[in-house]
Chain A
Amino acid sequence: MADNEMKAKLKDFICSTLGVEADVLEYDTELFGDSSIGLDSVDSLEIISYVDGEFGVDMTGVDKENFLSIDTIAAYITANK
């Protein structure tokens, strides 16, 4: 799967399931913490579940830095497929 296709799918998921508005979410936007997106641990469970189901990659327990942005999540998926 092309990198951009994967990122587009992740963005679609984050917008449709986690209520993030598409116009403020770029692939390098910071997702967690005090960012304008403000994802938290509950959201990370949803992302882990989606990534497992959609891409067959288990992100349970992986380091926080892999969840920084859509870019880093996609990079982890690519590296661990």
Chain B
Amino acid sequence: MENDRTRCVITGLGMISAIGGNVEECWNNAINAVSGIDHTKTVDTENCYSDYSAEVRDDTPWSLPGTQGMDRASKLCIKAVAEAMNDSGLTDFGGSERAGVIMGSCVGGVVSVEEYYTKGKKAELIPQMPIAAIASQAAGYCHAGGVVTNVANACAAGTISISYASDLIRTGRADVVIAGGADSFASVPYAGFTSLHALDANPCSPFNHLSGITLGEGAGAVIVESYEHAKARGAKIYCEVLGSGVSSDAHHITAPRPDGEGQMNAIRDAIKNSGITEADIDYVNAHGTGTAKNDEAEFLSLHTIFDGKNDDLSVSSTKAMTGHCLGAAGAVEAVLAIKALCENIVPPTVGFSEDDLTLLAERAGKLDFCPNVPRKKELHTVMSNSFAFGGNNASIVFGKKIGSVKMRDERPRIGITGMGIVTPAGNGVQNYVEDFVPGTPAAAADLCSSVGKDDYDALGLKMAFYRKLDRFSQLQAVSGMEALQDGGFTITDDNATDIGIIVGTSEGALSPVCDFEMLIAEKGNANGSAFKFPNTVYNAAGGYLSICSGIKGYNVTATNGAQSGLFSAAYAMSVIRLGREKAMLATGTDENDDIIRELYGTLGYAADKPVEPYSGSDSFILSDGSTTLLLEDETAAKDRGARIYAYAKGCGSAHRNVEFGKLSGSDEALDRAIAEAVADAGITAADIGAVVGFADGCKAVDDIELGALKRVFGGRLAELPVLSVKERLGEGRAASAALGAAHAALMLHGDIPEDSAYFLGGDGKMARKTVKSGELDNILALSFGAGGSYCALVIGR
């Protein structure tokens, strides 16, 4: 029997797609086999071989109060969130730290990107471009004050977000989380899939003609809640959230493994983590995109797992009606799977002719793909699967009955056993340590990291692999591989599924997205680049890292501002604490190039001369890089004789919504993030010996940090060293956030024996003084995210 701590339930549903503006409309159309696929109206299809798509027809998202100026994806998201909140009997979280928002997306604010490059470069469009805006704005709508982030794992993002939401509840970090996903149909994905010849010239036909996908759009949102919380407020309960599985293929950036190994790892983990067997699954809402590569791998996976163990399994792909909603797909399909479970009706896979049915019978065996018509059937347990670009796979199980979700009882200590550092000052831990001179100011007002052939050769990366990587992915591949090498961690067939990756990034692949948009704005949607398009998905970097390292475990790209570089470590800690993996790479990566420089410059944040932290400027040194930490269950680390730099002892995340792109007014959330991290580490603020701050010289940022430190540490501040990695290396956003944690670990381990710290004097002025690393036991690393998200991490001996 599952105990109450692990019991998560769904208490509200929201959905918008081409087949309806709300859950009821979508559901009724789904079980009546009504497809939303039609000729495209909102995107230019000139000279393109396929003009089919599944566009949202409902126009209520475009006039929702409070969403003016937001990207189309955020409006779709908030429409679904509003419905789910209302359905669940929730009105507003009032800033509660126990309420979170996890939203999946693949292409994020591409409509704003398109408008920026085709209709005049308006500055107000820039904050709407990154995926990070979506969850932050959704949290602003419902005033959630806890963990807020986006999962940017392309077509698996929606499913992963629900999985992660339930993990947050099971690890005690939230009572209620709105999870889901949102994506718009727009020129970038349309031209991209056109360039890959991955679109069906006709409406897509999953598990049937296998000639390609049809793009859709929409959003799905579910209220995931602890059973205790739902019971206490008398909420209606749709179903239980049982186990889930997340894996990576380590195979190819766009194509799934033909042998289905990664898909099957995710599905088997979901079944195992639910405490059920294959025979218990009554219905699978399949990924079923309609491409030959996906559907053939999926036929193989389903047959391999279920044949002989479950002779009455229904399977359908609802994408034949909704189109492929990319980062929203897993979310809208979870809603449909939950409705199926509650209504005891399996929605059909539409699009089969009489001849098609003959072929299906051969391919399907005993699996019932519910061709063309729904099937009434008593459902007890359903599964929803999503498989993505980058080789990411996710599977989740919902049930009417309490399952037997297992959680590890003891909480492991988590060691930092390796790190990879790519900064504008050079690459590698050894270089970072040797090059480090306390108190060195930045060399220039604009800084860029550099990776090249020497790095690839040293890491054993071949040209046939790295030639495909965009710069963001290159930075990530080098720091990730360095972390494994530094940690002496060799990936083998035996341990490949015991280690995972959390990539943290603020802007992610925004630069490749803008580059691709500029290309199609000039040459038309028929002339996108098949080479460039795969790198526009934010999780490409994590996918490439999986491919070159061989890592086959958990793989998520989390994005919510600069703090994502610390948040990745917090996320990785929860993955290890739940026993999902023994080791995790947690990264922070962001790039600075001509495109990013223009965007930050247009917003007025890119300095034109070097800026020091706490100098009261209105801009910062734009920089970039990548830092990867290898986090490891202490027992596993000791078993393999690993060196432990320091321990990741506790983490905290909080959100106080302000307009996305701004920070002022969100101060109290940083106080809460610090308090949570300190409590999670089992210490008090008095035990913190130093802080790695996030001040970058921009007054609005620095004031928030100093304000929180004054409130948390009071009179101790005059003696509490505040360290900075940005003084020398600039504002590398997620890269700086992760570097702060690495810097702390290197001090605690003695590799960096001393640093020049800032001290806030009673006169309000910052003084400088040398701090000896040997005097420190616990260091608090802090980071911020535009829109009011904060993360704090306690690193200790």
Contact = CB atoms under 8 A, between A and B. Distances in A.
Contact of A42 (B196, B462, B463, B464): B196
Contacts of A18: 467, 531
Contact of A36 (B255, B463, B466, B530): B463
Contacts of B463: 20-21, 24, 36-38
B520 to A, nearest CB: 13
Interface in A2-60: 17-21, 24, 35-38, 40-43, 45-46, 49
B154 to A, nearest CB: 16
B197 interface: yes
A35 B467 CA distance: 13
Interface residues of B, number: 20
A45 B534 CA distance: 13
A16 to B, nearest CB: 11
A62 to B, nearest CB: 15
B763 to A, nearest CB: 55
Contacts of A43: 530-531
A45 B467 contact: no
B468 interface: yes
Contact of A46 (B252, B465, B469, B529): B529
Interface string B471-487: 00000000000000000
Nearest to A39: B464
Contacts, number: 45
Contacts of A46: 529-531
Interface string B243-259: 00000000010110000
B468 A19 contact: yes
B150 interface: no
A30 to B, nearest CB: 11
Contacts of B453: 21
A40 B467 CA distance: 12
B227 to A, nearest CB: 46
Contact of B531 (A21, A35, A37, A42): A42
B117 to A, nearest CB: 21
Given A18-B467, A19-B467, A19-B468, A45 B530 contact: yes
A21 B527 CA distance: 25
Contacts of B252: 40
A20 B196 contact: no
A4 to B, nearest CB: 24
Given A18-B531, A43-B531, A46-B529, A38 B464 contact: yes
Contacts of A35: 464
What does DSSP make chain B's interface, helix, strand, loop or mixed?
loop
B746 to A, nearest CB: 34
B195 interface: yes
Contacts of A36: 462-464
Contacts of B466: 19
Interface residues of A, number: 17
Nearest to A20: B467
Contacts of A17: 529, 531
A70 to B, nearest CB: 16
A18 to B, nearest CB: 6
A28 to B, nearest CB: 17
Nearest to A42: B530
A38 B461 CA distance: 13
Contacts of A37: 463-464
B254 A42 contact: yes
B287 to A, nearest CB: 20
Contacts of A38: 462-465, 467
B524 to A, nearest CB: 12
B12 to A, nearest CB: 41
A38 B466 CA distance: 10
A32 to B, nearest CB: 10
Contacts of B195: 45, 49
Nearest to A43: B531
Contacts of B197: 45
Contacts of A45: 195-197, 530-531
A37 B196 CA distance: 20
A43 B195 CA distance: 11
A12 B354 CA distance: 51
A43 B464 CA distance: 12
A72 B530 CA distance: 22
A38 B465 CA distance: 7
A37 B464 CA distance: 5
Contacts of B255: 41
A20 B453 CA distance: 12
Contacts of B468: 19
Nearest to B293: A41
Nearest to B469: A19
B750 to A, nearest CB: 41
Contacts of A41: 255
B466 to A, nearest CB: 8
A17 B610 CA distance: 35
Nearest to A17: B531
A22 to B, nearest CB: 11
A45 B469 CA distance: 17
A24 B529 CA distance: 24
Nearest to A37: B464
Nearest to A33: B464
A20 B468 CA distance: 9
A24 B467 CA distance: 13
Interface string B523-537: 000010111001000
Nearest to A46: B531
Contacts of B530: 42-43, 45-46, 49
A35 B462 CA distance: 11
A20 B252 CA distance: 18
B195 to A, nearest CB: 7
A42 B389 CA distance: 13
Interface centre among B196, B464, B534 (most CB of A within 10 A): B464
A49 B519 CA distance: 14
A17 B531 CA distance: 8
Contacts of B531: 17-18, 42-43, 45-46
A45 B273 CA distance: 41
Contacts of B469: 19
Nearest to A34: B464
A40 B254 CA distance: 11
Nearest to A15: B467
Contacts of B196: 42, 45
A9 to B, nearest CB: 17
Nearest to B254: A42
A49 B462 CA distance: 26
Contacts of A19: 466-469
Nearest to A45: B530
B465 to A, nearest CB: 7
Interface string B183-202: 00000000000011100000
A36 to B, nearest CB: 6
A43 B529 CA distance: 10
Contacts of B254: 42
Nearest to A38: B464
B470 to A, nearest CB: 10
A43 B252 CA distance: 13
29 contacts: A18-B531, A19-B466, A19-B468, A20-B463, A20-B467, A21-B463, A24-B463, A36-B462, A36-B463, A36-B464, A37-B463, A37-B464, A38-B462, A38-B463, A38-B464, A38-B467, A42-B254, A42-B530, A42-B534, A43-B530, A45-B196, A45-B197, A45-B530, A45-B531, A46-B529, A46-B530, A46-B531, A49-B527, A49-B530
Interface of B: 195-197, 252, 254-255, 453, 462-469, 527, 529-531, 534
Interface of A: 17-21, 24, 35-38, 40-43, 45-46, 49
In the A-B complex, the 10 residue pairs with the smallest Cβ-Cβ separation, listed nearest first, are: A38-B464, A19-B467, A45-B530, A46-B531, A42-B530, A46-B530, A20-B467, A21-B463, A36-B464, A37-B464
